[in-house]
Amino acid sequence: MRLHPLSIFTGFFVALRQFGSVVLVVIVSQLARGGERIGRASLFLALSIAVPLVLTVASALVRYASTTYKVTPTDVLFNTGLVWKRRRVIPRERVQEVHLTQNLLQRALGLTQVKVESAAGGEAEIVLDSLGRERAEELRNELTGARGPQFYQRPEPHPYEVSTGRIILASMLENRALLLLVGALGVVMPFVEDEDIINRIVPFVAGLGRSIEPLRWVGIAVSVYLAGWLFSGCLGIWNFAGFRIERHPKGFQVVYGLGNRTQRVMRTERIQELTVVQGVMFRLFGLYAVRARSAGVTFARNEASGSGYLSPAAIATEVPVLCELAMPGMEPLDQGPWLRLPSRAIPAAAISALLGWALLIAVVAVLLSLDRWLDLGKTISSVLVGVRKYASVALASLTGIGVAGAALTALLVRHRSSGRQFARRSGRLWRAWQAVPANRTQMVAVEQSPLQRWFRLCTVSVRVAASECSVTDVSPEGAAEIRDFALAARRADPQHGI
């Protein structure tokens, strides 16, 4: 079977986005040379635009003509490529998740992108760019139904929803857009010769700048921060608007997104990891970010677009409900026998951090001494001479902070082996919980570095199909208990597989 014929149209825009950067660079470079040179280079400019457009159209046509898929009673077959051919086969019983996503163009055309994921890697093994909406839902029902009843057709009442206000608040607290704005300003400002442009961009700063120069730049920094705040709230709405979880007897479906509408079906028996994170700003407002991961999903990838989220902004009373939804029988995070690391783990962590900083200091010392015997040129030499005055103080301060941070981290780490999960907790200001189902353990690794052997410590990792939960600097006896617990849970429930 082939993709929808309109996939040629959507594929054109996808390829245009890839070639568009090349066209933009050429146009900007021509404009930078001056208007009189544009006329002489008009042929080159026309070719620089026409060639990418032709390649874009050809790419869309080739993608449509060469992409086919087939669902057999046992496998899912996928073929694509004209010059570089790819063929993928996924056994239907190994299908972990099927995602349906729609961007604005696809929603306008009634198309849907289908991603089929197995436990083979951290990204989708099969991506069908554009299928008809009904065909996409039929394919999802067919593939996910291979593992049991089509549970998503019978949603339970009262789905879990995240309000728009909470989504905006959480996005503004994270302020991811601030980095984008600062990066853009860092690229643009060196080319700005007219200082009045700054006053036109930030009008209310101009009055401050006339009298006190430092206040002008403070105002600009505050303006950029507030702009990042506002832009982050808009991004949150774009990514997470309408976020809800529809509960089902054997799993749940997550639906979210204003721009890219996503539907993710997850079976409870396939959840491999659960994480709960509460940053500093989230803690001030009592919010948590809850994520789940199956064998086919890497939620660290595309985190901004919501991959893996059970809730981008949950409150304290909702966290136990979401944890129970993903891992039935899980003890509440604020309860249970959380175990500390042995007291000797604190000096071991501090010494390990000190050795790392010592290596960095040695590298910096070598660089600072290069200009004495090697001609590095005026620019590099002047930088090194200027840095040398403050290098010792800065490195000493950073070393002290790093060593103290490592010791404090070891002091705050907790772990527990109870119920059917192995869990780890860390942090005080930035708090994080991680849990993996022990009955899906693939391997338990116990490792020792030379420093850990000296302190009689080790690192233990409980590895499942898609992730691992590791605790550093536990005692050998504690590592043996964790290993025995995970392996016993696996042997007691061997049918779960991955």
- CA pair distance 117, 294, nearest whole angstrom: 10
**Which tokens in the block code for residue 185?**
């300003």
- CA pair distance 277, 303, nearest whole angstrom: 13
Q: Counting beta carbons within 10 angstroms of the beta carbon of residue 97, is it exposed (0 to 12), middle (13 to 18) or buried (19 or more)?
A: buried
The segment with the largest mean pLDDT, out of 57-66, 192-201, 278-287, is 278-287
Q: How confident is the model at residue 441 (pLDDT cuts 50, 70, 90)?
A: confident
* Least confident stretch, 300-309, 353-362, 389-398: 300-309
Proportion of the chain above pLDDT 70, given as a percent: 69
- The sign one gets for the Cα dihedral 180, 183, 187, 189 is positive
Order of strands across the sheet with 271-278? 309-315, 287-294, 271-278, 431-437, 421-426, 414-418, 339-340
**The pLDDT value given to residue 179:** 65
Question: CA–CA distance from 113 to each of 123, 129, 203 (Å)?
Answer: 15, 5, 44
Alpha helices in 258-344 (DSSP H): 280-285, 319-326
Is the Cβ–Cβ distance between 312 and 306 less than 8 Å?
yes
- Whether 308 has a pLDDT exceeding 50, the answer reads yes
